[in-house]
Each structure stands twice: as C-alpha cells, then as structure tokens.
Amino acid sequence: QVQLVESGGGVVQPGGSLRLTCVASGFAFEYYIMGWYRQAPGKERELVAVIRVPGGRANYADSVKGRFAISRDNGKNSIFLQMNSLKSEDTAVYYCNAFRGGGPNEYEYWGQGIQVTVSS
C-alpha cells in the first residue's frame, strides 16, 4: 500500500529544464525525510538532494548546487525536483526516496525510478 509515484521525466536538450514530481501515499509523509537519488549506467546510486522535515531544510550534491531545487508540499504528500541548466552528465534514472529513523527501527521506501535523458 506504500507508494511513491514519480512523473516528469523525459528527454531534454542541454541547458534545458525538467521538473520531477513524486506523490507519496500509505505512510505518514510529514515525518519522513524525502530525497531524490539517481543512478547512471555502470555507476552507483547517488544522492542528488534531500529535504528534511524541520523547516524543510535542503541539501544538495555539489554537482547540482545552483541548478537543482528540491521542495515539498506536506498537504499534497508530494516532493518536487526542479532541474535547470541540465547537462549530459545529469542523464540517469532518478528515484524518489522516503526515510525515517531515530527509533528502534528504520523505515525506507523507494519509487520505481524515472528516466531523465539530456541530449542534443
């Protein structure tokens, strides 16, 4: 019943923009740290951006700082990733992630992943 449904991927030219959306259901969204990860062929999955519950504070990978922006809307159980000035090296499958820890157990959920391709 837990779902993280991603949308907004596709093909874009270098320098273009895309906006990814992740809609969550089946868990207490407002208590989870939410993030976007990506994985390119032959490479390990890496953190792109994360947004925390207290004050909605965000952190970014150095490679995307100044170009990407993560946001969340707790009322809509959604997070977003605005991607600007896209480069070919941004090409990857992007995954929505939910995480909660701090107690006896940790909880983590993943979306199915969506393809982002930056090519001319």
Written in H, E and C, the secondary structure of 57-95 is CEEECHHHCCCEEEEEEHHHCEEEEEECCCCHHHCEEEE
What is d(CA 71, CA 58) in angstroms, rounded to the nearest whole number? Answer: 8
Per residue in 13-64, pLDDT (tens digit) is 999 999 999 999 999 999 999 999 999 999 999 999 999 976 679 999 999 9
Q: Which residues on adjacent β-strands are paired with residue 33? A: 99
pLDDT at 67: 98
* Torsion 62-63-68-74 (CA) sign: negative
Specify whether the CB–CB gap between 78 and 23 falls below 8 A.
yes
pLDDT at 56: 78
